[in-house]
Structure 1
Amino acid sequence: MKDSLHLFILPLGPQLLPLEWDKYFLELPIAERTRILKYKHWQDRQRALLGNILVRWMLKKFTNETPINIARNTLGRPYLANNTNWSGDFNLSHSGEWIVAAITNHGHVGVDVEKIEQFNEEIMAYTMSEEEINEINQYAKFDRTKLFYELWTMKEAIYKTGLFPNATPVSINTIEINKKRRDIHTHIFYIDKVHPVTVCWDCGQFPIVRTVLNRDQLVSYL
C-alpha cells in the first residue's frame, strides 16, 4: 500500500439472518458486542457490526498485526493498539445504505458518508460558517441541499482525522482550511445519487483506490 489511500465501500444490504449475524458478531470482543446491541433499530446494529468487521478485515489485509486489537482514545477515535510494525491510520463511517472505511500507511485519515435528505435550512445557521452559508446560498434549492451535505461530510472527515482535537465538526470552517492548510487534502465523490463521501488526509498527494466489497469477501477475516 505504498503511497496510496484505500477506500473500501460495503452496502448495508438486507437484514442478516440469525446464522449470518452470529458468524460476524461472535468474532468481536465483548465490549464491541455490547456497544452494537445498544442500537435500537436493526439497520443501525447491522451498520455497526459490518463496519466493525470491515475495519478488522482491512487492518488484517494491510498490516502485520495479529490479532487485531482496536482501542479508542479519549475522544473516542479508534486506533490499532499494541502495534509495533505499522504506523498508518484508518477511519470508518456509515450512513443510509453504505459503510465506508479508509486506510493509509502513514499520516492521518478521516472519512464521512452521509445520506442526502430534506432538512430545515435553519440548521445551516448552527452548523455552517458565514463563508460556507454564502457559498451554499449561491445555488438553487436542490443544489443547496447537496452542497450542504457535501460540506458537512467534509467537516466530519477533517474532524475525524484527529488533527483538530480541540475543534468540533461545527466549528471547522472548510473554506478557511482549504485556503490555508496546504498539508491537508480532501476528496469528495458520490457512491450513488444520494450518498456523498469525503475523505481527508495529510500524508501527501497520491492515488485514491476505491473498492466496492460484498459481505462474502469479509469472511476471510473470520
Structure 2
Amino acid sequence: MMSRLGTMKSGVHLFMLPIGPQLLQWESEAFLFKLPHEDRLRILRYKHWQDRQRALLGTVLVRWMIREFADIQHAIIARNAMGRPYLANQDSWQGDFNLSHSGEWIVAALTHQGHIGVDVEKIECLNEDVMAYAMSEGEINRINQYSKIDRSKLFYELWTMKEAIYKTGLFPNATPKSLDTVELKSKRKDIFTQSLYVDQQHPITICWDREQSSVKQTILNRNELV
C-alpha cells in the first residue's frame, strides 16, 4: 500500500478511480481472480466492455477499501431488502461503505462509524421533465435563478446530494421530490454532506451521519488495487 494512504485508517474516506481505457485480458483476469465466484459470474454477464469494466473495478475497489481501511480481510458482502450492500459477517463492525459510478469515474466511500452514502454523476443537458419529477419546489426555484449552463451544473450537484443522502439508508421511504435537500440541510443537524468536483464534468457528494473531521479524499489508479 502506498505511503500516502498509510495514515488514513480512521474517519470518513472518499476514493475516486477513473475507469480508464479497456483492460487487457490479463489485467481483467488478474482482477477477477481475486473475487468470489458469484461476483465473477455477475460481472461477466455484462455484454459491453464499459459496463463490465465499471462493475469489475467497482467491486475490486470496494473490497480493497474494506480490506485496507476497515482491516477486514475476508468480507462477505450481502444486500438487505432495499438492495443496499452491507458486510454480512461483521456484526461488531460499526462502519459502513457505499459505491457509485457514472461517466468516467467510479467512487467509493467508507466510514468507521455510522452510515454513509456517495454519488457521482456526469453532467448532461438538463431535462426539464426529469427536473420536475426529481426536484422539490424549493430546489426548482433555486435552479431557475441561474443561466442555462449553471442550471445544469446545479441540477446535477443537487441530484448527487439527493442520491448520497438516500443511499445512506436513513430515508428508505423517500422519493426524489420528497427528499428536499434545502429543507433537510436546514432541519437535520445530524446529517453531514460534502460536495466536490473530481473534474469539470463529474460532481460528487458524500453524506454521513456521525460528526467527523473533514473527508479524506484520494484519487487512485487501478494499479494500486492489484
Would you say same fold, with TM above 0.5?
Answer: yes
Residue 141 (structure 2) pairs with residue 141 (structure 1): no
What is the CA-CA distance between 1:2 and the residue it aligns to? 6.7
- 67, 71, 74: which one aligns with 1:67: 74
* Structure 2 counterpart of 1:6: 13
Find out whether 1:109 has 2:81 as its counterpart. Answer: no
Q: What SS does structure 2 have at the residue aligned with 1:191?
A: strand
Greater alpha carbon shift after TM alignment, 150-159 vs 116-125: 116-125
CA distances 1:106-144 after superposition (whole Å, capped 9, x unpaired): 011000000001132222111111111000000000000
Q: Which residue of 1 aligns with 2:5?
A: none
1:1-222 paired onto structure 2 within 5 Å: 4-219=11-226
CA shift in 2, pair 1:77/1:131, >3 Å = same
The sequence identity of aligned pairs, in percent, is: 64
Paired residue total: 219
Task: Give the letter aligned to residue 92 of structure 1.
Answer: L
**Contact kept in structure 1, 2:18 and 2:104, CA below 8 Å:** yes
2:140 counterpart SS class: helix
Q: CA RMSD in A?
A: 1.5
Q: Structure 1: how far apart are the matches of 2:112 and 2:133?
A: 35
Task: State the SS of the aligned residue for 1:168.
Answer: coil
Residues 216 and 152 of structure 1, relative CA distance in 2, 3 Å threshold: same
TM-score (structure 1 length as normaliser): 0.94
| Alpha-carbon contact 2:119-2:164 (below 8 Å) kept | yes
Contact 1:188 1:196 in 2 (8 A): yes
CA distance in 1, matches of 2:10, 2:62: 20
State the 4+ residue runs in structure 1 displaced beyond 6 angstroms: none
Contiguous gaps of at least 5 residues in structure 2: 1-7
> What's the TM-score once normalised by structure 2's chain length?
0.92
